[in-house]
Chains A and B, each alone.
Chain A
Amino acid sequence: MGLLNRLAPRRPEPNPAPPLLSEVEDPVFATKALRKFLTALTSHPSPSLLDLGPVVGSNVSFFGEQLGCKIFVEDIFADLERHLREDKLERLPDFLKKRFPQATGSMDGILCWDLIDYLDKASAQALATELARVLRPDGALLAFFGSVQRQDQRYTKYIIVDEVNLRHRAYPAARGRRAALLNRDIIRLFEGLRVSDSFLLQNNIREILFRKPA
């Protein structure tokens, strides 16, 4: 029977649904820090999560349905774009200082993604100070930083595939990344937080997990 099966012409398999074009084109990269970030989050009951990137439905489902987080989506990339479009970039630091309605020490986790790379120094400092303010003691902040200067004008949506893989979906930006920050500059920026883990990935992204001292 097994031999017959092997000799008989194979029936054509029913055509599986073609994958979405975007899924084919978007590269998937490993992440080392996300799992640690998730572990930090799940140590709190009903954790609150602040996501600074554009809304990604599957990420919302991942954090909401699977981890029971309350998620606050505050797309700062959109704010940056608006300020660039309206030629009001000099107002961005003051805007960021008042941007977050969240109470001091109210967030268990913050997903900063690679936002800092796109900001000027004053805006980056204003944002970092605000994030350190809203983060709860013992809370975690995950941020990505480019380790090389890139000229391309695009942002990246980070779509969680699982706790060790992220799909990177590029979308157009009004301007590219600013200069790649040194580790010491990053640490100074997030004064009040301590670096818990830091990983340099093969795709030249530094993943840094900050914790706020309890």
Chain B
Amino acid sequence: MEKDIVNIGKSVVIKGELNGSEDLTIEGHVEGTIQLREHVLTIGPNGRIKAQVFAKSVIVLGEVTGNVTASEKVDIRDNGSVDGDIVSPRVAIAEGAHFRGSVDMQRKGGGQPAAKADAKAAAPQPAPAVQPHAAAPAQRVGA
């Protein structure tokens, strides 16, 4: 079964509240509030958003000014721009993306990520291929 994706074209300007129950791609301008609680919102390369955004997942290739809340993931792709605060359990920001604001990845209910209890164990292991240039012990010069 083909999944419905609605597309708001480049020439479309929407001011107000945008609610939906299917995935949506925005290439135009939207100001106000966007709510796609169970669906994926994609802001295309031409999309310009000045809005509070609530969605399951948000993919940003254009510009967003406003706070973004996603229950699954926010993905700011190369050349994508977000100026606002992000709340989502997963956030990916590509090299070349612009972001200014805060990122809150708290789990629902205020619980901490499981790894938090042991930050040392949680830290990613060094990639075997990586050869640190200064692996020798540093000189401690102060206390």
Q: Do A and B bind each other?
A: yes
Binding site for B on A (CB under 8 A): 19, 22, 27-30, 32, 35, 38-39, 41-42, 45-46, 55-57, 60-62, 64-75, 161-165, 183, 195, 197-203, 206-208
Interchain CB contact (< 8 A) of B103 among A19, A46, A70: A70
Which residues of B in the span 74-102 have a Cβ within 8 Å of any Cβ on A?
76, 89-95, 97-102
CB nearest to B102 among chain A residues: A72
Query: Which of A22, A28, A32 is packed against the most chain B CB atoms within 10 Å?
Result: A28
Binding site for A on B (CB under 8 A): 76, 89-95, 97-106, 110, 112-113, 115-116, 119-120, 122-127, 129-136, 138-143
The answer to whether A30 touches B97 (Cβ under 8 A) is no
Known interface pairs A19-B129, A28-B133; A70-B102 also in contact (CB < 8 Å): yes
The answer to whether A199 touches B123 (Cβ under 8 A) is no
Q: Which residues of A contact B102 (CB under 8 A)?
A: 70-73
Q: How far is the CB of B37 from chain A (nearest CB, A)?
A: 22
The answer to whether A67 touches B113 (Cβ under 8 A) is yes
The answer to whether A66 touches B122 (Cβ under 8 A) is yes
Q: How far is the CB of A18 from chain B (nearest CB, A)?
A: 12
Interchain CB contact (< 8 A) of B134 among A19, A29, A55: A29
Interchain CB contact (< 8 A) of A68 among B105, B131, B141: B105
Interchain CB contact (< 8 A) of A165 among B98, B106, B115, B126: B126
Known interface pairs A64-B91, A200-B139; A70-B106 also in contact (CB < 8 Å): yes
Can you sample 17 A-B contacts with CB below 8 Å? Answer: A27-B133, A30-B132, A30-B135, A39-B119, A57-B93, A65-B105, A66-B123, A67-B116, A70-B102, A72-B102, A73-B99, A73-B102, A74-B100, A165-B126, A165-B130, A201-B134, A206-B141
Q: How far is the CB of A89 from chain B (nearest CB, A)?
A: 21
Q: How far is the CB of A5 from chain B (nearest CB, A)?
A: 24
